[in-house]
Structure 1
Amino acid sequence: MKTKTKWLPLIVTPLCITLYGCNSSSSDHKSQPDVEAATPGNLNLCHELAEQFNYSETKIVSAELLPEGSNTVQSPTPAHCVVTGAMNERVSLIDNQTYKIGFEMRLPVDWNGRFYYQANGGFDGVVKQAIGQFLSVEDESQSALNKGFAVISSDAGHPSPAPTFGLDPQARLDYGYNAVATLTPMAKSLIEKAYGKQPDHSYFAGCSNGGRHTMVASARFADMYDGFLVGNPGFNLPKSAISQIYGIQQYATLVDVDPENVLGSLQSGFTQQEYALVSEKVLQQCDALDGASDGMVNDLAGCQEAFDLYRDVPSCVTERDGTCLTNAQKDVLNNIMSGPHNSITNEAIYSNFPYDAGMGTSDYYGWEFFMAMMFDSGSVSYVFSTPPTPFDGSTDMGKLEYINSFNIDTDVGRIYAIDENFTESSVDFMTPPNATDLSTLRDRGAKMMVVHGSSDSVFSPADTINWYEGLQDANGRNADEFARLYLVPGMNHCGNGPSTDRFEMLDKLVDWVEQGMQPQSIEASVRPDNAELPSNWSPTRTRPLCPYPQVATYNGTGNIEDAASFSCVAPK
């Protein structure tokens, strides 16, 4: 059955009146009494930490002082101490592999008194440099380390290659939430040893799976952190992984798959050029909804009503040539954008996806095909299924055979299942226990800022919007007092796309937590090195990112490349 992808209902008038005002400015205002700001400190120990720091089940491998300007990352860093170590080393009784929670901490000599947990993406499995970078496209000179934070990064309790760690029950739990619970008190204790005091304020941030880590922490560990910075969160990761393999199943119906070129033959069924055609037609229907024909869709909800795949994209009457879609292609895309459903009960398994202007990019296309094949077959089979369902993933054909064997109607139950070895289901250990119950966070004065690219093809922004609407409902429509959501038009997964994907949120979060300054609109700019930018955009384009559900709307006058020419207003 052909169905048009619908958008969730919006409660417009009360939000406009009670939450933000219909024309809020970009200047922040105080929403609560002053909170004590963090006080700086100086590093007292570095090399000595390897011998003098003692913490249960923790081994410090090295502690090295790096001078200012060290090129350990792309951007020169301040003078800091790099500490590497591991916790809870053990040999699994299930797969006989050695597991431990590896970590790196970077402690600036001139410390701002704050702690930053850098939540990483993907399968984890690697201890990334602990510089406190939020988005993959972020200016490293603006990293948390460069701002003076003490930063920790970890592998979440397992080594690469992933996803075979899913055979071990404890490794699953460490990946889901327990590594954070284990590392946090250790890190604060190490900070106290190095500086003579614990951090005054602690922050948690990450994008993608790192965004999932952050949302899980906001529900499970709000007593340990004061601020949460969330990017493109995969907080329903087991469900979204099934959505990704459902997409591959759909694409496979369009072609005869070549066993020698599985990915290439799948991509021949729906090319990037054809995705770009869809983006072009979305823009034709939606670009001007915000008052400006500028290659951006700010009114994402309105766009879902304005655009119709079957009506607005030409149907092929002869051969495919990139200017049309076949009826079969439209059905496949409609199914994917509607999200997977149980064919018997029509129950949604995961969220729908919005049509947007960033669907024609290489990032969007890569997540649809290559990343879905590479990541999601293994994550569903090894990590999210109970019991694990191993398969031969050494070839693309092996991955595809597993994907096609997954029955959307019956096998989804594996992500909810438990047994005598795996006593927590993947839905339990991977997702927030109750994503809309942030009462601990709220009641202790902690804050959360969430950002999501509206052209994310792996973790749907509609899922995040639905979560935020539920959070509002659970808090008398006053959740904005402690949590704010910002959509980035055209942005793909954690950056890229035809978008203004450079913006500063960490400073805004700190000001909110420590000074009570509520964030309003946030100015974002393009990255001139972004290969996905249209040629007719100014390399200095700026836009306001508006607190949801407000929409950046052109004032009718002024430079269309300047954020000052736009205001955040309630959706129509």
Structure 2
Amino acid sequence: MPSKIAIAASLALCTGLVSSCAPTGEANSTLAYAQDRARCEAASALGSLGATAKASWVEADGGLPAFCEVTAVLSPERGSEIGVVYRLPVGWNGKMLGLGGGGWAGNITLDAAKPGLTAGYATAQTDGGHASTTPFENPWVVDPVKAKDFSWRAIHEMTVAGKALVAAYYGKGLDRSYFHGCSTGGRMALMEAQRFPNDYDAIISQAPVYTLQVQTSAVLRNNLFAQPGAALGAEGAKLVSDAVLKSCDAKDGVADGVIADPRACHWNPQELLCKPGATGGCLTQPQVNALQVAYDGVRAADGTFAQLPLSKGGEAGWAAFVAINGDRKEFSNGGGTGGLVPVLWPGKQVDLNSLTPAQVVEGRASAFAKMYEAGDPNLAPFFARGGKLLMWHGESDPGPSPVGTIDYVEAVKRTDPAGAANGLQMFLAPGVGHCAGGPGADQVDVLGALDSWVSGGKAPETLVAKKADGAMVRPLCAWPKVAHYAGSGDVNDPKNYRCVARD
């Protein structure tokens, strides 16, 4: 093992990018590699991570560069235990990428960091202030410190400490810092832009679970299909999906199993109502009624959504987050709402099986909700310093509704029109589920698009989306426009589409 003097000498030699330590030749590369490892051995003492910091060297593998992994536990106040992981690659590109979590958990996995590491980013991750990785179990929310950490503090603390570590490790300041999150990570992204506009130069927020309307929508949808005779089941969902696609799929010029603009689809579920004596291939009146409520959503007395609308065309994928079989049991367990009862309605007995819109409004007025929700549309401080916010949402998402994201984007535009014109761009992905999946083209290089936007100064007007197997390639148009096939040429060539106004 190198001596402390050798380590110090190595660090002194490499005050810039790692690549600058290896001019040319195999001997110099070997020396630079040894210096990289020596630098990593000393990394736990860099920045201000404290006594819990540990550093380990990870060899290059499977396309990933070699990197230094630094872990620590941050404790901004008594009882706070924010686990953080930083991965510092050889061949650093000068930028840091913060990453968000999912459900009611953070994410410190290497898998989440791989895309950024491969592109040369130093990555920053956190467990959100609690060690559990179970996404929809959240008994820790009754602890005020842990609730604060997860709601807004963990990402900020991770970011501040990460910037200091990265700068000290590479011996130079960061060129830029970006954040990328989907679902809960999307909420974390918006929280950063709202509360800490100086943390990141640019932010990606995908399918953000940014208010508790997502959780209450999950509960109310489960209750909706649990009403007598209302359950759809997989067979009923497919029946509906087939009918909707037959009615609206080709409106964008190509029949491909995807509806480009679900809100312009005027198919009525009443069309599938069983005629007297029918025994199959149709819907009962309770099923028709439930479907219509699912499409329309439910508003509370104050005009806000207690249950956000689901999109037409995505019915075949609803079962991932909606108990369409009528038993109230689905993957997310109502978005984890059961664990929130003590903090949303403190001191009260609330039966989620009979949750009302009035109770939703009451819960969203709680102290926890005010701390957790990231619905503030005032991003003027973020935009004023040149911040860029790229938003993305799958049209067929059965969890957080794209309608919620649309509502937020429009509110931001109303609050600061000039700032939003320069710093906000949003894309909707037809046929795509929650963060990915579904029949639509769900693979998009949003990080590359964000970096190009920041570097070139011009917001992207289109993004290219693909299926992982290459079977579908489509352009996504910046909101509020939508892609329409021009009528000739390869349907998988984005050049054969144009961005048009929505109906």
Residue-by-residue CA offset, 1:351-397 (whole Å, 9 max, x unaligned): 63243323203xx3121131342643334325x5152779xxxxxxx
- Kept in 2: contact 1:241–1:380 (CA 8 A): no
Shift of 1:170: 1.5
Residue in structure 2 matched with residue 298 of structure 1 by the alignment: 260
Contact 1:446–1:482 (8 Å) recurs in 2: yes
Does 2:41 align with 1:47? yes
2:312 alignment partner in structure 1: 356
What is the letter of the counterpart of residue 443 of structure 1? A
Worse-matched range after superposition: 406-415 or 100-109: 406-415
Q: Secondary structure at the match of 1:353?
A: coil
Matched, 1:66 2:58: yes
Q: Distance in 2 between matches of 1:54 and 1:447?
A: 27
315, 324, 332: which one aligns with 2:274: 315
Summarize the Cα distance change of 1:566–1:388 in structure 2 as closer, same or farther, 3 Å threshold.
farther
Per-residue deviation, 1:316: 6.0
Say if 2:118 is the partner of 1:146: yes
Query: Aligned AA for 1:225?
Result: Y
Does residue 549 of the first structure (1) align with residue 480 of the second (2)? yes
Structure 1 partner of 2:298: 340
- Matched to 1:273, the amino acid is E
Q: State the 1:513 CA deviation.
A: 1.2
1:304-453 to 2 correspondence within 5 Å?
306-311=266-271, 313-315=272-274, 317-318=276-277, 321=280, 323-342=281-300, 345=301, 347-350=303-306, 352-361=308-317, 364-369=318-323, 370-373=330-333, 375-382=335-342, 384-387=343-346, 402-404=351-353, 406-410=355-359, 412-417=361-366, 425-432=367-374, 434=376, 436-453=377-394
The Cα shift of 1:227 comes to 0.7
What whole-Å deviation, never above 9, does each CA across 1:135-154 have from its counterpart, x for those lacking one? Answer: xxxxx5xx111101110111
Q: Specify the alignment match of 2:251 in structure 1.
A: 289
Match of 1:78 in 2: 65
Counterparts of 1:82 and 1:130 in 2: how far apart (Å)? 14
CA distance, structure 1, for counterparts of residue 101 and residue 200 of structure 2 = 17
Q: Secondary structure at the match of 1:203?
A: strand
1:129–1:153 CA contact under 8 A, matched in 2: no
TM superposition shift of 1:409: 2.5
Residue 428 to residue 377, structure 1, CA distance change in 2 (3 Å): closer
CA distance in 2, matches of 1:225, 1:285: 44
Report Cα offsets for 1:107-127 as digits up to 9, x if no partner. Answer: 002110101110111111553
d(CA) in 2 for partners of 1:46, 1:389: 52
CA distance in 2, matches of 1:466, 1:375: 20
- 2:171 is aligned with 1:199: no
Q: Structure 1 209/272 Cα, relative in aligned 2: closer, same or farther at 3 Å?
A: same
What TM-score comes out, normalization by structure 1 length?
0.75
RMSD over aligned Cα, in angstroms?
A: 2.5
Secondary structure of the structure 2 residue equivalent to 1:350: strand
Give how far 1:350 is off.
3.4
Q: Greater relative contact order (Cα 8 A, min sep 6): structure 1 or 2?
A: 1
Identity over aligned pairs, percent: 26
Cα distance in 1, alignment partners of residues 316 and 112 from structure 2: 32
- Cα distance, 1:293 vs. partner? 2.0
Contact 1:106/1:131 (CA < 8 Å) preserved in 2? Answer: no
For the 8 Å contact 2:204–2:390, the answer to whether it is kept is: yes
Structure 2 SS opposite 1:524: strand
Letter in 2 for 1:427: A
Change (3 A) 1:348 1:415: closer
CA distance in 2, matches of 1:560, 1:411: 44
Q: Which amino acid aligns with 2:58?
A: L
Show the counterpart of 2:241. 279
Superposition TM-score, scaled by structure 2 size: 0.85
d(CA) in 1 for partners of 2:452 and 2:308?
34
Change (3 A) 1:340 1:41: farther
Which SS does the other structure have where 2:319 is aligned? helix
1:462-488 Cα offsets, whole Å, 9 max, x none, are 111111122222333772421111000
1:523 corresponds to? 464
C-alpha distance in structure 2 between counterparts of 1:386 and 1:41, whole Å: 53
Taking the aligned partners of 1:522 and 1:502, their CA distance within structure 2 comes to 10
Decide whether the 8 Å contact of 1:337 with 1:353 is kept in 2: yes
- Residue 214 of structure 1, aligned match among 152, 173, 189: 189
Aligned equivalents of 1:389, 1:148: Cα separation in 2: 51
Task: Name the CA shift for 1:388/1:459 in 2 (closer, same or farther; >3 Å).
Answer: farther
Equivalents in 2 of 1:157, 1:471: separation in Å?
Answer: 29
More helix by share: 2
* Unmatched segments (≥5 aa) in structure 1: 1-38, 70-74, 93-98, 133-139, 256-267, 391-400, 418-424, 529-538
Secondary structure at the aligned position of 1:288 is classed as helix
Distance in 1, matches of 2:308 and 2:131, equals 33
Whether the 8 Å contact between 1:176 and 1:430 is mirrored in structure 2 is yes
The answer as to whether partners of 1:188 and 1:199 remain within 8 angstroms in 2 is yes
